[in-house]
Amino acid sequence: MTVAQKEENELKMKNLNIDDLISKAIRKIGCRKESELCRYLPMKSGGYMHHFTLRKMKAKQAQDLSAMIDRFVMNADKLIVVPPKQRAARGSRKRRDHMNFTRNQLERMLNIARLAGDKEIISILSPRKSLATCKRELIQSIRHNKVEQELWNGYAEAVNAQQMINELMMAPQV
């Protein structure tokens, strides 16, 4: 028998031993699945063992896993379910500096900007219009012999946005 075959046989024996230990621990806990055993095995980083970690340890660190199962399940006087690791709240990664305004609030701020004559703020707060809408409004203002810089700026922005979209659509995809 070669050295590799001996090591392979030893590994099989360890896996059989760990499988027997896991099945005994599952019976003691009174659960059905191997992954339910994880809730009784604490981790150093906090919380209980993840089922993927259990599988990895079963294959690569069978002795460490068997020691953990012996300590926390088989030799424990009272089985303790480990509380889950504290995680960040779902909304915690959202940007806090972004402000949401209602439609009425935006209209009020837009009117204030118009009264103050601040063109930059007006352009930022003005709702974006489609190219067709901008074109229609610009033609109507020309027919009424009115010149409105805001309409022209909106039209120019819409044309630029449309050109950017067309360029992105025509660009070769890698």
- CA dist 121 and 115 (Å) reads 11
Whether 69 and 105 share a structural domain: no
* Per-residue pLDDT, 117: 86
**Token pair in block for residue 50:** 């993840």
Whether 65 and 11 share a structural domain: yes
* Per-residue pLDDT, 56: 92
Q: Would 83 be classed as within a structural domain?
A: no
Whether 118 and 161 share a structural domain: no
Handedness of CA 90, 92, 93, 96 (dihedral sign): positive
**Parent domain of 141:** 130-174
* Per-residue pLDDT, 49: 92
**Torsional class of 172: left (φ above 0), alpha (ψ -120 to 50), beta (otherwise):** beta
* Per-residue pLDDT, 114: 85
* Per-residue pLDDT, 12: 58
Whether 13 and 60 share a structural domain: yes
- CA dist 43 and 29 (Å) reads 19
Total structural domains within the chain: 3
Whether 152 and 163 share a structural domain: yes
Whether 8 and 69 share a structural domain: yes
Whether 105 and 49 share a structural domain: no
Whether 18 and 52 share a structural domain: yes
* Per-residue pLDDT, 50: 92
Q: Indicate the DSSP class of residue 48.
A: B
Q: Would 86 be classed as within a structural domain?
A: no
Whether 121 and 142 share a structural domain: no
Q: Would 70 be classed as within a structural domain?
A: yes
Q: Would 89 be classed as within a structural domain?
A: no
Whether 108 and 122 share a structural domain: yes
How distant is the alpha carbon of residue 71 from its chain centre? 36
Whether 53 and 115 share a structural domain: no
Whether 39 and 16 share a structural domain: yes
pLDDT, averaged per 10 consecutive residues of the chain (174 residues), comes to 66 70 89 89 90 90 89 87 82 67 86 86 76 87 85 82 74 59
